[in-house]
Amino acid sequence: MPLFARASAFADFIYRHSRAVHTVKLALALFIAAAINTIWSLPHFVWSMVTIVIIMMGLPQVGGAIEKSLQRAVGTCLGSAYGVSLVILMNGYWDLMGLLILGVSIVCYLNAGRYSYAYLVAGFTMIIVIGDANHDTSEALWRTANILIGCVIAVLVSLFVLPIKAKQDWRAQLASSLKIMTQVLEQHLNAGQEEPENARKSLETAMKAVLAQKKLLFSLEWESQTLKKEAQTLTELANKQIRVITLLELLLLTRWKAEEDAAYARVKQVASGLQREFAYLADYVAGNTPDCPKLPLGLGYQLQQQLLKQLPSESSDDSPEAAHQDFALSGYSWLIYQLAQALLAIHGELASLDLAYKRKASAQRQLDIPE
């Protein structure tokens, strides 16, 4: 299925009601843990429920739940192994506590980067396992087992019960960002000398959408091997959107006198075509159009030449006022040209993602062909 194809009605329903769906899934996971305890009466089973809440409450997407569960499982195993070893080998209270503090300190030093949660879990698992240093290894092992059971339940419920995909959330945030950029540019071109109302708030909303995309990158990698291979493309796509937002903020700062309206109107007429291209791209990402819009061949160069034609030619008027107008109009044209370059860059990143999915679909069809 293409990356930007329209979502199914079922997937769209899950996304639109994701908070309610996620709440039901969390309740179901806790019910499963309670049912397991009713059947087998596991010691310290409450740690299963604690683990489920920690993993699922803040990460509704499938990819996020998988990553956090694996990090929690790895951290639990490492911390438990260290803690149980200390309980078995150390007899003195301060010998045990000294090595515990050393282990937690090492984990604290390493606690950075993508796998910081695993280090965090390893640290507090050491403390949980050792407890008050009563040398009860069975209690430590039961706590570890219950944490792992909670991880398994969280992953299975996330995967197989009304799965909430990070890809759909990412697509929605990307479409929202591009749509807001299109609206702000359109408002600016129609507002004349005045700054469009609420334009800056709209750009802040667009920036939040871009940051949301960045937060979803790890979840996307866990959900899709194709997107995992295109991690750099996803990062660059977010960075290009930030560049567009910055350029739009600069455009909002532009001001000119009433007598200069005619000169600026010619440049804005050229920019209107650029705004339409942004609108087409936003519609495609949202799934409203089946095919990726094809930008005019040599868009950047064509726009550059059109803008150069609109700039003031050499004039006998060497007054400071004329020089200031020439400089301001040139700067405004430069911003429009940079917006075109940013649009081309975003289009290129989306084309790379599309191509990666087409290659995947082609490879799958080849595997399905009988010999």
Q: Is the pLDDT of residue 311 over 70?
A: no
Query: Mean pLDDT, the chain, as a whole number?
Result: 82
**Average of per-residue pLDDT across 320-340:** 66
Question: Is the distance from CB of 291 to CB of 2 less than 8 angstroms?
Answer: no
Q: Is the pLDDT of residue 322 over 60?
A: no
pLDDT for 62-105, tens place per residue? 888 888 888 888 888 888 888 888 888 887 888 888 998 999 99
Q: Which residue matches tokens 């809440």?
A: 53
Specify the range with the lowest mean pLDDT, choosing from 4-8, 196-200, 325-329.
Answer: 325-329
pLDDT for 156-206, tens place per residue? 998 889 888 888 899 999 999 999 999 999 888 887 666 777 888 999 999
CA distance 332 to 270: 12
CA distance 139 to 128: 10
Question: Is the distance from CB of 336 to CB of 284 less than 8 angstroms?
Answer: no
Whole-model pTM: value is: 0.79
What pLDDT does residue 323 have? Answer: 43
Q: Is the pLDDT of residue 37 over 80?
A: yes
CA distances (Å), 60 to each of 57, 133, 216, 306, in order?
7, 37, 11, 48
CA distance 153 to 150: 5
Query: pLDDT-based confidence at 324, cuts 50/70/90?
Result: very low
Query: pLDDT-based confidence at 371, cuts 50/70/90?
Result: very low
Question: Is the distance from CB of 272 to CB of 185 less than 8 angstroms?
Answer: no
Give the pair of three-digit tokens for residue 63: 């990819």
What pLDDT does residue 193 have? Answer: 63
What pLDDT does residue 309 have? Answer: 66
Question: Is the distance from CB of 188 to CB of 274 less than 8 angstroms?
Answer: no
